[in-house]
């Protein structure tokens, strides 16, 4: 093995892969069998993140950064004058095994530029996963990018060897795609997603009936959208995400703030980087839809198509819907409790369980992990004065953000300091 050349390829292809944010815990539970290497069980894999929030615990590389397409937002586009490189299938297999043995990684995230056509590229990606599983008995986590336009047969093989598959949607709307990636079309992305969704259901059903039948993409499928390269609003973005969650049973939608890569009249200027905060707010909105029972049209509407940057979307919703509050913590329904700012899913369950045995107060909530500095404004307790007073403060948002003091603050500090 020529180590210098491999090193060079690694630095080029790992650097090119950093723009893809769609890797994270899988929920997959592939076990170590036959004294093989690794496992991807239970908790999924562990991750650490670089400063800019990219996942680094997987070996995250491109098979090649040679690409026949010219997507304007992409550093790998064919018209970009950059150094190109390509791994062989065996090189990726060897790197994965060597890094795994050294404890550098827990799995592989493999994507690729489209170097000849969709099928040839997908074939190589599948070959890596197949070799790792069958020849190296590797049971660690594998996330493969699915290449839009690849055949169902290849997608089927991919699902049998990989834990997770993902097709990047690239841009939130078809119009955005036409503008910046005119060679691509949404249907080529939807076809593999549909196939994977159906196969997952089929194999899960088989598994219920025949214990020994294989798993198909046990970590499910995910996708990624680039935010801020095209002028879509947050409203459009969360509606797209919502539709794809529903239609394709996606495990995750990832939002990747556009990083300026070229001077192109179709793109925002090189100076206008998407604030990380916008990305965070989209993740929070996404979380609300998946775990807190919010509908996309409750989070944003046409009159207010962008998420506020100064408050998270749940607090924003609560401030716009004060009529919904205060909620009596002793009697409110679980789904209503989930809507209280400062209450997470776990603490909502604790509240429902805890109130069976006692009358809850602020201190109980604090111990349950509730962010009481926020929640206190939206709840009421039996015999409490909170019910009528806190919500009526005209500058509630500023009080919660801590820019002004509440006239009731001393009272609460005193209550909490008793414990
Ligand atoms: S097909 Fe993928 S790798 Fe190629 S230019 Fe478009 S986004 Fe980049």
Residues 155 and 288 in one domain: yes
- Please give the pLDDT value at position 396: 83
pLDDT cut 70: percent of the chain above it: 84
- Please give the pLDDT value at position 50: 40
Cα 96 to ligand 1 centre (Å): 24
| Res 86 pLDDT > 90 | yes
Mean pLDDT of all residues in 376-398: 70
| β-bridge partners, 227 | 257
Closest protein CA for atom 2 of ligand 1: 113
Mean pLDDT of all residues in 390-412: 66
Ligand 1 atom nearest to CA at 113: 3
Final residue in a domain of this structure, among 250, 284, 299:
299
Cα 265 to ligand 1 centre (Å): 19
Question: Nearest CA to 41 among 50, 49, 31, 26?
Answer: 31
55: three-class secondary structure by DSSP: strand
312 lies in some domain: no
Structure confidence at residue 383 as a pLDDT band (50, 70, 90): low
| Res 90 pLDDT > 80 | yes
List of residues 6+ apart from 252 with CB closer than 8 A: 22, 24, 222, 223
333 lies in some domain: yes
265 lies in some domain: yes
Mean pLDDT of all residues in 83-98: 96
66, 148, 169, 181, best to mutate for ligand 1 pocket (most atoms within 8 Å of CB)? 181
123 lies in some domain: yes
Cα 113 to ligand 1 centre (Å): 6
Cα 22 to ligand 1 centre (Å): 15
Torsion angle of C-alpha atoms 142, 145, 149, 153, degrees rounded to 10:
0
Closest protein CA for atom 5 of ligand 1: 77
Residues 229 and 369 in one domain: no
| Res 48 pLDDT > 50 | no
Structure confidence at residue 55 as a pLDDT band (50, 70, 90): low
**Using one digit for the tens of pLDDT, what is the confidence trace for 340-354?**
999 999 999 999 999
- Please give the pLDDT value at position 390: 60
Is the bond leading into 326 cis (omega within 30 degrees of zero)? yes
Residues 409 and 352 in one domain: yes
8-state DSSP, 185: -
| Res 406 pLDDT > 60 | no
- Out of 66-75, 248-257, 394-403, pick the least confident: 394-403
Closest protein CA for atom 3 of ligand 1: 113
**Using one digit for the tens of pLDDT, what is the confidence trace for 27-44?**
455 666 666 665 554 332
Cα 181 to ligand 1 centre (Å): 8
Domain hosting residue 388, numbered range: 323-417
Residues 163 and 39 in one domain: yes
- Please give the pLDDT value at position 46: 44
Cα distances (Å, whole numbers) of residue 3 to 10, 14, 91, 320: 10, 16, 11, 59
Cα 179 to ligand 1 centre (Å): 14
Residues 192 and 70 in one domain: yes
Q: Which residues have CB under 6 Å of ligand 1? A: 67, 69, 71, 74, 76-77, 113-114, 181
Q: How far apart are CA 389 and CA 349, in angstroms?
A: 27
Cα 417 to ligand 1 centre (Å): 56
Residues 331 and 379 in one domain: yes
Q: Which residue has the higher pLDDT, 365 or 260?
A: 365
Considering the entire predicted model, what is its pTM?
0.85
Residue 86: which CATH number? 3.20.20.70
| Res 223 pLDDT > 80 | yes
Cα 251 to ligand 1 centre (Å): 23
Residues 127 and 199 in one domain: yes
207 lies in some domain: yes
17, 66, 76, 180, best to mutate for ligand 1 pocket (most atoms within 8 Å of CB)? 76
Ligand 1 atom nearest to CA at 74: 8
- Please give the pLDDT value at position 31: 60
Mean pLDDT of all residues in 401-410: 60
**Using one digit for the tens of pLDDT, what is the confidence trace for 127-171?**
999 999 999 999 988 999 999 999 999 999 999 999 999 999 999
Ligand 1 atom nearest to CA at 76: 8
Residues 146 and 238 in one domain: yes
20, 77, 170, best to mutate for ligand 1 pocket (most atoms within 8 Å of CB)? 77
Closest protein CA for atom 1 of ligand 1: 69
Ligand 1 atom nearest to CA at 77: 5
Cα distances (Å, whole numbers) of residue 352 to 173, 280, 345, 355: 41, 29, 11, 6
- Please give the pLDDT value at position 370: 96
74, 180, 258, best to mutate for ligand 1 pocket (most atoms within 8 Å of CB)? 74
Residues 62 and 153 in one domain: yes
Ligand 1 atom nearest to CA at 70: 5
337 lies in some domain: yes
Q: What are the phi and psi torsion angles at 37 (to 5°)?
A: -100, 130
Cα distances (Å, whole numbers) of residue 68 to 1, 166, 283, 372: 28, 20, 32, 54
Cα 249 to ligand 1 centre (Å): 25
| Res 53 pLDDT > 50 | no
Residues 162 and 55 in one domain: yes
Residues 133 and 28 in one domain: yes
Mean pLDDT over the full length of the chain = 87
Q: For the stretch 248-283, what's the b/e string if a residue is b when 16 or more beta carbons lie within 10 angstroms of its beta carbon? A: bebbbbbbbbbebbeebeebbeeeeebeeebbbbbb
Residues 266 and 406 in one domain: no
Domain count, the chain: 2
Cα 94 to ligand 1 centre (Å): 26
- Please give the pLDDT value at position 399: 84
| Res 15 pLDDT > 90 | no
Cα 76 to ligand 1 centre (Å): 6
């Amino acid at each position: 093995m020529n180590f210098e050349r491999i090193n060079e390829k690694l630095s080029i292809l790992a650097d090119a892969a950093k723009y893809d944010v769609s890797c994270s815990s899988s929920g997959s539970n592939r076990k170590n069998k036959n004294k093989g290497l690794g496992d991807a069980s239970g908790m999924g894999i562990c991750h650490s993140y670089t400063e800019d929030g990219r996942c680094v615990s997987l070996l995250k590389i491109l098979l090649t950064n040679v690409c026949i397409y010219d997507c304007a937002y992409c550093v790998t586009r064919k018209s970009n004058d950059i150094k190109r490189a390509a791994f062989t299938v065996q090189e990726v297999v060897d790197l994965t095994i060597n890094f795994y043995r050294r404890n550098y990684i827990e799995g592989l995230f493999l994507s690729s530029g489209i170097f000849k056509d969709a099928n040839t590229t997908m074939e190589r990606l599948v070959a890596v996963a197949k070799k790792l599983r069958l020849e190296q008995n590797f049971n660690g986590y594998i996330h493969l990018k699915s290449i839009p336009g690849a055949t169902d047969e290849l997608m089927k093989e991919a699902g049998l060897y990989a834990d997770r598959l993902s097709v990047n949607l690239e841009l939130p709307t078809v119009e955005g795609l036409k503008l910046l990636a005119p060679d691509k079309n949404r249907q080529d992305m939807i076809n593999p997603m549909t196939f994977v969704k159906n196969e997952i259901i089929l194999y899960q059903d088989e598994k219920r009936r025949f214990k020994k039948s294989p798993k198909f993409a046990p970590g499910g499928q995910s996708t990624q959208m680039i935010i801020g390269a095209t002028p879509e609003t947050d409203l459009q973005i969360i509606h797209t995400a919502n539709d794809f969650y529903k239609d394709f049973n996606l495990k995750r939608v990832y939002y990747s703030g556009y990083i300026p890569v070229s001077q192109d009249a179709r793109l925002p200027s090189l100076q206008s980087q998407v604030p990380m905060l916008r990305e965070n707010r989209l993740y929070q909105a996404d979380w609300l839809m998946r775990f807190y029972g919010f509908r996309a049209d409750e989070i944003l509407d046409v009159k207010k198509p962008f998420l506020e940057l100064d408050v998270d979307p749940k607090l924003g919703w609560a401030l716009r819907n004060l009529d919904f509050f205060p909620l009596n913590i002793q009697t409110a329904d679980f789904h209503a409790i989930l809507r209280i700012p400062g209450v997470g899913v776990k603490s909502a369950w604790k509240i429902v369980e805890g109130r069976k045995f006692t009358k809850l107060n602020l201190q109980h909530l604090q111990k349950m992990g509730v962010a009481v500095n926020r929640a206190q404004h939206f709840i009421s307790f039996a015999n409490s004065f909170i019910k009528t007073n806190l919500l009526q403060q005209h500058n509630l948002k500023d009080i919660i953000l801590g820019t002004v003091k509440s006239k009731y603050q001393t009272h609460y500090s005193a209550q909490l300091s008793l414990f």
